[in-house]
């Protein structure tokens, strides 16, 4: 079966308008780089987080006594002094760590991203929030005060606003610095999207605070799914509400107009409270068109836990977003139907009236089971069948616009994922699995990962890099994959490869891996220099056990990609032609290509 990829002749980013039912044309050409700001780079040490901005007193989320920011270059598995007396688990204590990454830290490294070849940035939540992850918003319409140059001054500005009235909203120093980042990103010919959860807030969110104070008399009482209010005449507290997945510190917005049964992990028809929706739309427009100018705004949104919100809202949201900025990109997190075995089918969200793409974990898992050495290994035919199954549900333009996510803030780092043989993401950390390997991976893991990366940059859809992968970083599932980045200019303490177990310490040298960086850079250059890898049809030409070959081709261009995951050398029979391996520069003037074990080639006809 062939996966035909429509060649979109003449469709360039210079078009005046993008049809509302199509992805923006720039998305298929993107080289995505995902940034988790707090761990990316500390560019301004004067704004490092303070205790007062990291606590949630009404939920008793308060770091242990003696808390302070952690050393960027320290051993991840060595407890900070303030952690040593706590009875909480190491994993729980990691949520309290702060390292001081900020917006200026991104500005300072734009040259690095440009050198790597990045063309689009997906930035994890930066809305003002007390947590590390920032999906527990205090304010949607402001950048976190500790990501900007004047946290205390920003708090004073915010205190003078009416958060429900956009006419009173001001630009804080953190907001302005972020808009400067957007401008600098655009000057370099790059795009940037923000990450938001419209499903829930934190308990410090301004509307929730009003509810806590006024209970049933709050004008925001219909915003959230509140089951019962407190009765002031009784000693007990009857206040009950729904939090996201039972997490009380992230109360959920109220869903409305639900048709039929709402089942977790399944799409459903529904919407959200109109007051909430208006606020979301106001915030959305603020960042897409600051002061009414779309040229100064972001290029789209990544929408967290999108399956938790009804389809009706997402239709309304797309209509609104595209009315503000017609080439904005909308990508939804559509992940688990049944943890940890069944992933959701994104098709219902891709009917041209909601999302342009999803974070395409669905095609990473089978690829990992083919390229990795796992308990559930598959052969080349099974990989082909799986990819064709997923692609066959999508129209071609959405296929090309997909963000092919492999690792992220919510998943193990790739090297560690390839170093372990367990099910994808299941018990993939030392807290849940004492046998999970968290140290420097072995040579075979590096080789297998390189093969997967060749696939990532030559397959259909836009490749994505989780910050630090290109540095050779390793790490288990959340929160262990959120270590501070290993910048080349920094010297790091060695890391205990036996992590938090009771084994004797054994240390790995950590730091920037130039070889890994160069390999990513080479793959990016190959993809950007060969449009056939974006627009070309994809045809599988060999699926023999652990031998895999496919070609990307148009009427005028062709690239053949070969993989040998057998234990010995393998020969691939190709049409008579002259080829150059774009990875090594080696010429092949024959139709029989010998590929070493655990090796791959990207061959271009010459």
In this model, does residue 15 exceed pLDDT 60?
A: no
pLDDT at 147: 98
In this model, does residue 9 exceed pLDDT 50?
A: no
Which of the four pLDDT bands, split at 50, 70 and 90, describes residue 351?
confident
Q: How far apart are CA 331 and CA 114, in angstroms?
A: 23
429-444 pLDDT per residue, tens:
999 999 999 999 999 9
User: Do the strands 269-272 and 255-259 form a parallel or antiparallel pair, or are they unpaired?
Assistant: antiparallel
Percent of the chain exceeding pLDDT 70 equals 97
Mean pLDDT of 214-219: 97
Q: How far apart are CA 493 and CA 302, in angstroms?
A: 35
CA distances to 196, 319, 356, 564 from 199, in Å:
9, 18, 19, 44
Q: What is the DSSP letter of 213?
A: H
CA distances to 10, 60, 91, 261, 475 from 246, in Å:
49, 16, 19, 19, 27
- CA R_g for the chain: 24
How much of the chain is helix, strand and coil, in % rounded to 5?
30, 20, 50
CA distances to 61, 198, 205, 286 from 202, in Å:
12, 11, 5, 21
467-526 pLDDT per residue, tens:
999 999 999 999 999 999 999 999 999 999 999 887 889 999 999 999 999 999 999 999
- Token pair for 345: 């089918």
Percent of the chain exceeding pLDDT 90 equals 93
For residue 404, the Cα-to-chain-centroid distance in whole angstroms is 10
pLDDT at 18: 84
Which of the four pLDDT bands, split at 50, 70 and 90, describes residue 10?
very low
Cβ atoms 552, 537 nearer than 8 A: yes
545-563 pLDDT per residue, tens:
999 999 999 999 999 999 9
pLDDT at 528: 98
Mean pLDDT of 279-287: 98
What is the DSSP code string of 108-127? Answer: TTHHHHHHHT--EEEE---B
Q: State which H helix or E strand residue 209 sits in.
A: helix 206-214
Q: How far apart are CA 97 and CA 89, in angstroms?
A: 13
- Token pair for 8: 């979109």
- Token pair for 203: 């308990």
In this model, does residue 4 exceed pLDDT 80?
A: no
Nearest CA to 124 among 466, 598, 381, 558? Answer: 466
Cβ atoms 76, 86 nearer than 8 A: no
Which residues partner with 272 through β-bridges?
255
Instruction: Look at 9-23, 143-157, 178-192, 324-338 and tell me which has the smallest mean pLDDT.
Output: 9-23
In this model, does residue 6 exceed pLDDT 60?
A: no
pLDDT at 14: 36
**Could you identify the residue written with the tokens 């009857």?**
238
451-476 pLDDT per residue, tens:
999 999 999 999 999 999 999 999 99
Mean pLDDT of 222-247: 95
Q: Give the CA angle between residues 305, 306, 312 to the nearest 5°.
A: 150
Mean pLDDT of 110-134: 97
Average pLDDT across the chain, whole number: 95
What is the value of pTM for the model shown?
Answer: 0.96
- Token pair for 342: 């069944």
Cβ atoms 594, 569 nearer than 8 A: yes
Nearest CA to 524 among 566, 480, 469, 591? Answer: 469
Helix (H, G, I), strand (E, B) or coil at 33: strand
In three-state form (DSSP H/G/I as H, E/B as E, the rest C), the secondary structure along 519-574 is HHHHHHHHHHHCCHHHHCEEEEEEEECCEEEEEEECCCCEEEEEEECCCCCEEEEC
């Amino acid at each position: 079966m062939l996966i035909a990829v429509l060649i979109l002749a003449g469709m360039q980013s210079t078009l005046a308008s993008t049809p509302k039912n199509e992805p923006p044309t720039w998305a298929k050409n993107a080289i995505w780089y995902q940034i988790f700001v707090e761990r990316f780079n500390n560019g301004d040490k004067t704004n490092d987080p303070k205790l007062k901005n990291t606590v949630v007193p009404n939920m008793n989320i308060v770091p242990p006594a003696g808390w302070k920011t952690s050393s960027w270059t320290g051993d991840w598995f060595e407890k900070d002094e303030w952690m040593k007396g706590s009875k909480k688990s190491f994993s729980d204590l990691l949520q309290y760590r702060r390292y001081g990454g900020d917006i200026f830290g991104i500005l300072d490294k734009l040259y690095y991203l440009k050198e790597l070849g990045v063309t689009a940035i997906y930035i994890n939540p930066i809305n003002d929030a007390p947590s590390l992850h920032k999906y527990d918003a205090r304010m949607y319409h402001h950048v976190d005060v500790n990501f900007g140059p004047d946290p205390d001054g920003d708090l004073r500005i915010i205190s003078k606003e009416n958060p429900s009235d956009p006419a009173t909203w001001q630009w804080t120093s953190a907001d302005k610095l972020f808009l400067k980042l957007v401008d600098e990103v655009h000057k370099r010919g790059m795009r940037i999207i923000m990450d938001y959860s419209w499903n829930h807030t934190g308990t410090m969110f301004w509307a929730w605070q009003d509810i806590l104070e006024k209970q049933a008399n709050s004008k925001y009482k219909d915003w959230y799914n509140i089951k019962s209010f407190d009765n002031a005449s009784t000693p007990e507290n009857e206040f009950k509400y729904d939090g996201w997945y039972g997490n009380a510190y992230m109360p959920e917005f109220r869903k409305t107009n639900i048709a039929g049964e709402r089942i977790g992990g399944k799409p459903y028809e529904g919407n959200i409270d109109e007051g909430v929706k208006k606020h979301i739309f106001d915030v959305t427009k603020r960042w897409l068109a600051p002061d009414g100018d779309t040229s100064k705004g972001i290029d789209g949104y990544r929408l967290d836990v999108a399956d938790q919100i009804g389809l009706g809202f997402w239709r309304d949201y797309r209509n609104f977003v595209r009315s503000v900025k017609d080439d904005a990109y909308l990508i939804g997190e559509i992940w688990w139907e049944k943890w940890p075995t069944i992933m959701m089918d994104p098709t219902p969200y891709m009917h041209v009236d909601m999302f342009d793409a999803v974070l395409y974990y669905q095609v990473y898992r089978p690829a990992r089971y083919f390229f990795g050495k796992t308990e559930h290994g598959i052969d080349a035919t099974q990989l082909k069948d799986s990819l064709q199954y997923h692609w066959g549900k999508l129209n071609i333009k959405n296929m090309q616009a997909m963000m092919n996510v492999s690792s992220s803030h919510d998943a193990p780092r790739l090297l560690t994922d390839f170093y372990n043989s367990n099910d994808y993401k299941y018990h993939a950390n030392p807290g849940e699995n004492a046998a999970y390997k968290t140290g420097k991976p072995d040579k075979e893991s590096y080789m297998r990962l390189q093969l997967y990366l060749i696939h990532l940059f030559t397959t259909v859809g836009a490749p994505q890099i989780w910050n630090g992968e290109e540095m050779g970083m390793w790490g288990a599932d959340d929160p262990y994959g959120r270590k501070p980045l290993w910048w080349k200019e920094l010297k790091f303490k060695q890391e205990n490869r036996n992590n938090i177990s009771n084994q004797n310490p054994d240390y790995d040298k950590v730091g920037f891996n130039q070889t890994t960086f160069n390999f990513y850079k080479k793959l990016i250059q190959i993809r950007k220099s060969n449009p056939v890898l974006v627009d070309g049809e994809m045809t599988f030409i060999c699926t023999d056990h652990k031998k895999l070959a496919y070609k990307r081709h148009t009427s005028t261009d062709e690239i053949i990609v070969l993989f040998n995951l057998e234990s010995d050398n393998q020969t691939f029979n190709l049409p008579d032609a002259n080829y150059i391996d774009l990875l090594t520069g080696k010429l092949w003037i024959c139709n029989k290509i010998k590929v070493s074990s655990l090796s791959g080639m990207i061959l271009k006809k010459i």
